Structure formats: structure tokens, C-alpha cells
Amino acid sequence: MNKTRINQANPQELLEIPGIDPARRDAIVRHRSEHGPIRDADELAHVLGSSAADAAWTSEIDFDPAEDTAPEAPGA
């Protein structure tokens, strides 16, 4: 199973993660552009305003930092 690389995924790919809706996707994109890569599930929970990390994120998401986060293409 391929994990989604949260720090390189484009906005459409972020929506493929279970539990990520457009509002959460936008929060992830905004955080990456303002603060850089998301380090772990706990930081993702904070970004999404959740009190705890979703257990599924460990199996669905790769948190390895990228040299740069994904560029946000217009209309992406």
C-alpha cells in the first residue's frame, strides 16, 4: 500500500486521505505554505484543530519531510 506523502501531495491527492475534506485540505495547504512541512500525526491533528491524531493516519500518511513542500499550482 502506498502512503500519501503529506508534504508533497497536491490538493487533489490530499482529498484521497480518509477523513480529509476540502476544509481540512485547505488547512493543510495553508499550514505548509506558512510553516513548512508537517512533522507527524500530532502536528497534523493540531493543524486540523483536532484534539487527537486519527489512528488511520499512521497507515495512510508518510510524514517524511520533503526538501520543499508541493508547489500549489493555480487551479489545483
**Percent of residues, the chain, with pLDDT higher than 70:** 84
Q: Where are the domains of the chain?
A: 4-62
**pLDDT at 52 (0 to 100):** 79
Q: What φ, ψ does residue 42 adopt, rounded to 5°?
A: -70, -40
For 41-71, write each residue's pLDDT tens digit: 999 999 999 877 888 788 899 998 755 545 5
pTM: 0.80
The DSSP letter of residue 4 is: E
Q: For every residue of the chain, which 3-state class applies, written as one string?
A: CCCEECCCCCHHHHCCCCCCCHHHHHHHHHHHHHHCCCCCHHHHHHHCCCCCCCCHHHHHEECCCCCCCCCCCCCC
